[in-house]
């Protein structure tokens, strides 16, 4: 994406990145670098494979190099919670960090984002401030891509891991009436159900497939990343014709086996591109303090995913 920048990299260029393991599939660099160029920021966005046991060192290294910020993807979002110096309300509410903002200590004792640091000298001390932009991005994507809103609806959610847990909590907080939760590990699903019961008692959680139709089927598992993956649900227990709409958080491939099967069943479908877009645009706003150029970033994301 270097050709989108008018200004070449120099000694004052700042950096941001996505950490994941694996991370080669990420479309975030294409999206963010287009946004940075549109804002005329002398920044670059990179991608680094970081094994989970080295996340602490990787974050410390980014802070030491005065990075603007990093995004975190699988498997780092839960691990990062205990590594932050400060958690935003969003990270505390959803129990996961997908966006880190590095902040420098000013002479007057205040903390300022590195991306908004005005002085030529560098901060001597840096802290890590954790945010979560995934939860709001999911609800926004559902509304834009499927014209679907949560209040008083029923949802079959596949997966109770990091992404599934955040989705479950956000949907419950947004007014979903009944949530059917299916996960490979029963204990993990039970823990999410107990958390929802404590925090959002108005949402009924059922740890099984529904007997009848639901308004939305949402896949928060990784099944579908590979073309030979099986479907993430048992269609004998829940035929896809019973879903009002089907959303898959996976964005590459654009049509997972689940979405293909749902389309063949005549169901409205959407993939995770909208969620990726909106979590990314919000992250850029958190780092820069400026409104994100959403149409530019959307177009860059669409082109990248189409070309790849």
Of 164, 177, 174, 145, the closest CA to residue 245 belongs to 145
Same domain for 91 and 27, yes or no, is: yes
β-pair partners for 100: 70, 130
Query: Residue 225 is part of a domain; what is its CATH number?
Result: 3.40.50.720
Q: Which domain holds residue 36?
A: 2-133+275-307
Q: Do 111 and 229 belong together in one domain?
A: no
Told to judge if 77 belongs to the known catalytic residues of this protein, a careful annotator would answer: yes
Q: Over the stretch 199-223, which tens digit does the pLDDT of each residue have?
A: 999 999 999 999 999 999 999 998 9
- State whether 84 and 141 are in the same domain: no
Mean pLDDT of 165-177: 97
Residue 17, pLDDT above cutoff 50: yes
Give the pLDDT band (50/70/90) at residue 141: very high
pLDDT at position 3, please? 66
Residues in the chain: 308
Q: Whole-prediction pTM value? A: 0.93
Q: What is the pLDDT of residues 296-307, one digit of tens each?
A: 999 999 999 988
* Mean pLDDT in residue range 57-63: 98
- Across 6-10, 16-20, 53-57, 135-139, least confident range: 6-10
pLDDT, tens digit, 9 for 90 and up, residues 238-294: 999 999 999 999 999 999 999 999 999 999 999 999 999 999 999 999 999 999 999
- Res. 79: pLDDT tops 60: yes
Percent of the chain scored above 70 by pLDDT? 99
pLDDT of residue 2: 46
Cα-based angle 162, 164, 169 (whole degrees, multiple of 5): 100
- Regarding whether 255 and 179 lie in a shared domain, the answer is yes
Can you point out the beta strands (E) in the chain? 14-20, 43-49, 69-72, 86-87, 99-105, 111-113, 126-131, 154-158, 178-182, 204-206, 216-219, 246-248, 269-270
Q: What's 74's domain CATH number? A: 3.40.50.10860
Rounded CA gap, 96 and 152, in Å? 25
170 and 73 belong to one structural domain: no
Query: Given pLDDT bands bounded at 50, 70 and 90, which one contains residue 171?
Result: very high
Residues 193 and 290 placed together within one structural domain of the fold: no
- Domains identified in the chain, total number: 2
Q: What is the pLDDT of residues 144-167, one digit of tens each?
A: 999 999 999 999 999 998 889 999
pLDDT for res 277 = 98
Query: Is residue 285 domain-shared with residue 240, that is, in the same domain?
Result: no
Q: Which of 40, 77, 177, 188 is catalytic?
A: 77
What pLDDT, on the 0 to 100 scale, is given for residue 121?
85
pLDDT at position 161 is 85
Same domain, 194 and 83: no
CA–CA gap between residue 263 and residue 266 (Å, rounded): 5
Q: Say yes or no: 21 and 120 in one domain.
A: yes
**65 and 92 belong to one structural domain:** yes
CB 164 within 8 A of CB 183: yes
Question: Does residue 226 carry a pLDDT above 80?
Answer: yes
Give the tens place of pLDDT for each residue, 114-130: 999 987 889 999 999 99
Q: Looking at the structure, do residues 208 and 198 belong to the same domain, yes or no? A: yes
Let me know whether 119 and 186 are in one domain. no
């Amino acid at each position: 994406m270097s050709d989108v920048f008018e200004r070449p990299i120099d000694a004052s260029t700042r950096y941001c990145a996505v950490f994941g393991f694996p991370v080669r599939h990420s479309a975030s660099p294409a999206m963010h670098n287009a946004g940075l160029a549109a804002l005329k920021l002398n920044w670059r966005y990179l991608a680094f494979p970081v094994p989970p046991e080295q996340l602490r060192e990787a974050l410390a290294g980014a802070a030491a190099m005065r990075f603007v910020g990093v995004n975190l993807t699988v498997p780092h979002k839960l691990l990062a919670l205990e590594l932050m110096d400060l958690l935003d309300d969003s990270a505390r509410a959803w129990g996961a960090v997908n966006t880190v903002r590095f902040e420098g200590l000013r002479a007057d004792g205040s903390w300022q984002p590195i991306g908004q640091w005005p002085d030529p000298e560098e901060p001597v001390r840096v802290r890590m401030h954790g945010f979560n932009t995934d939860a709001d991005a999911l609800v926004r994507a559902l509304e834009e891509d499927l014209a679907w809103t949560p209040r008083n609806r029923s949802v079959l959610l596949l997966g109770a891991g990091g992404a599934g847990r955040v989705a479950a909590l956000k949907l419950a907080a947004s007014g979903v009436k009944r949530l059917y939760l299916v996960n490979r590990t029963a204990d993990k699903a039970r823990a999410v159900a107990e958390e929802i019961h404590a925090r959002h008692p108005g949402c009924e959680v059922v740890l099984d497939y529904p007997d009848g139709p639901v308004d939305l089927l949402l896949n928060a598992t990784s099944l579908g990343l590979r073309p030979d993956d099986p479907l993430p649900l048992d269609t004998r227990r829940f035929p896809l014709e019973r879903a009002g709409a089907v959303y898959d958080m996976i964005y590459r491939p654009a049509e997972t086996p689940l979405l293909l099967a749902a389309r063949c069943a005549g169901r409205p479908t959407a993939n995770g591109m909208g969620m990726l877009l909106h979590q990314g645009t919000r992250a850029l706003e958190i780092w820069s303090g400026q409104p994100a150029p959403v149409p530019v970033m959307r177009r860059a994301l669409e082109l990248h995913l189409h070309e790849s």
